[in-house]
Amino acid sequence: MNFPKKLADKLETRKQNKSLRELPQPNDLIDFASNDYIGLSKSEAIFNTTHQFLLDYNIKSNGATGSRLLSGNHILYTETENYIAQFHQSDSALLFNSGYDANVGFFSAVPQKGDLILYDELCHASIRDGIQLSNAKSYKFRHNDFENLEKKIINFNNSAGIIYIVTESVFSMDGDCPNMKELVAVSEKYNCYLVVDEAHALGVFGDKGEGLIQYLQLQDKIFARIMTFGKGLGCHGAVVLGSDELKSYLVNFARSFVYTTGLSPHSVATVLMGYYHLEKDKNALELLRENIVFFNQVKKMLYLSPLFIRSKSAIQSAIIPGNEKVKHIANALQQKGFDVKAILSPTVPEGQERLRFCIHSFNSKEEISSLIACISSLL
């Protein structure tokens, strides 16, 4: 059967624009690309403790192959959700299979017809996809521009509707953070409901890696937090944090929760062991923070700071406009042994193509210095 021409033409356009996505091959390069910020995905200790935990718990495979509303709600879910809620100082927690599922489920179900969603223009695609499925009206506001946000709030004249403000605590492409205290003040001024995606803050900010919201002690001001485990926690899944009523509502109306197979006992146990690790071991968090500071110091010393978006997170991005140019530099860095990815348009706007660096607790100071020296020599 012939491949449809319309689809082939779209692929050809991507090729012509030097923006065709391809699956990367496994490599043994120095990792400056993954979101495994504190190395938990490769932790032998977590692997072993998860296995032993399941043996001690005497978890059977039955009850793990279905929706949680049918046969998939095995006993580990309750313990894990309760632990996560306590860890994040939240009334309740509801596990989803992925960050994408959590965002699509939340935003498609919670905002109602007559409500308004105002979201930062750089919010993740999963948030935008969920918003598209909602019956509420939605508008984006300029990135971290709360004056622009206020104007849009004031223009909303439906007194019966709820306004949801949506942002991320760490933006995945820029690595920057909004002024959360200022944003909370805006939301309280206009009685809005604030929703924050903390995918790239878990395991990075806070005394135990709790995220930026708890680091700033703002958790009681947020209607819902979405924590994704595939980054700092190094495993699969996500959780929505909020009130008991919100959890009950999502169990009843979030389609990505209702109509999917629940995570296996092993997956849920791995999440729980990851949280145990955050609770007990702060060494990796301290090493990560030292490396972020060191990365910023070295790039400043080599006069590269103007290339970079200002960031105190584990994500550091150097703007190098043009798909072909940024791909060329990324390939050159890979040839020198560094796993660095080019982020191309249309993933980011044209002219905002970039090299995206992820800093980890396990990167050495020598690796960071060598990487930045290579960047300097290639520009």
Would you state the pLDDT for residue 63? 47
pLDDT above 80: residue 60: no
138 and 220 housed in the same domain: yes
Would you state the pLDDT for residue 62? 47
pLDDT above 60: residue 83: yes
Cβ 24 vs Cβ 43: under 8 Å: no
Total tally of structural domains belonging to the chain: 2
The DSSP code for 220 is G
**Which amino acid belongs to residue 310?**
R
Would you state the pLDDT for residue 64? 54
Q: The CATH number of the domain where 225 resides is what? A: 3.40.640.10
Mean pLDDT of 65-83: 88
Would you state the pLDDT for residue 36? 96
Token output for 48: 């072993």
End position of a domain, from candidates 238, 264, 280 = 280
How does pLDDT run across 85-136, given as a tens digit for each residue? 999 999 999 999 999 999 999 999 999 999 999 999 999 999 999 999 999 9
Give burial (CB, 10 Å; 0-12/13-18/19+) of 161: middle
Cβ 172 vs Cβ 199: under 8 Å: yes
Query: Which H/E stretch holds residue 140?
Result: strand 137-141
219 and 252 housed in the same domain: yes
End position of a domain, from candidates 253, 280, 307 = 280
222 vs 187: CA distance, rounded Å: 9
pLDDT above 90: residue 17: no
Token output for 38: 């504190």
| DSSP β-bridge partners for residue 120 | 141
Query: What order of strands is seen across the sheet that includes strand 137-141?
Result: 92-96, 238-242, 224-228, 193-197, 163-168, 116-120, 137-141
Q: The CATH number of the domain where 291 resides is what? A: 3.90.1150.10
Would you state the pLDDT for residue 66? 82
Contacts 24+ apart (CB under 8 A), 67-72: 67/258, 67/259, 67/260, 67/261, 67/262, 68/257, 68/262, 69/251, 69/258, 72/261, 72/262
176 and 66 housed in the same domain: yes
221 and 294 housed in the same domain: no
Could you tell me the pLDDT band of residue 321, with boundaries at 50, 70 and 90?
very high
304 and 194 housed in the same domain: no
204 and 142 housed in the same domain: yes
Residue 368 forms part of a structural domain? yes
Which stretches of 195-335 are DSSP H helices? 212-215, 244-253, 255-258, 265-280, 283-301, 323-335
pLDDT above 90: residue 286: yes
240 and 322 housed in the same domain: no
End position of a domain, from candidates 226, 253, 280 = 280
Residue 289 forms part of a structural domain? yes
Token output for 371: 């990487």
Token output for 46: 């977590």
Residue 221 forms part of a structural domain? yes
256 and 286 housed in the same domain: no
Residue 109 forms part of a structural domain? yes
239 and 295 housed in the same domain: no
74 and 214 housed in the same domain: yes
Q: How many residues are recorded in the chain?
A: 379
Residue 2 forms part of a structural domain? no
Between 65 and 199, residue with greater pLDDT: 199
Query: Which H/E stretch holds residue 306?
Result: none
How does pLDDT run across 223-276, given as a tens digit for each residue? 999 999 999 999 999 999 999 999 999 999 999 999 999 998 999 999 999 999
Q: Give the domain range for residue 35.
A: 28-40+282-378
Report helix angle 146-155 to 180-189, nearest 10: 20
pLDDT above 70: residue 295: yes
152 and 104 housed in the same domain: yes
Give burial (CB, 10 Å; 0-12/13-18/19+) of 104: buried
Could you tell me the pLDDT band of residue 59, with boundaries at 50, 70 and 90?
low
Residue 4 forms part of a structural domain? no
Would you state the pLDDT for residue 79? 94
* Ramachandran class of 271: left when φ > 0, alpha when ψ lies in -120 to 50, beta otherwise: alpha
How does pLDDT run across 128-186, given as a tens digit for each residue? 999 999 999 999 999 999 999 999 999 887 777 999 999 999 999 999 999 999 999 99
Residue 291 forms part of a structural domain? yes
pLDDT above 90: residue 192: yes
Residue 370 forms part of a structural domain? yes
219 and 201 housed in the same domain: yes
Mean pLDDT of the chain: 94
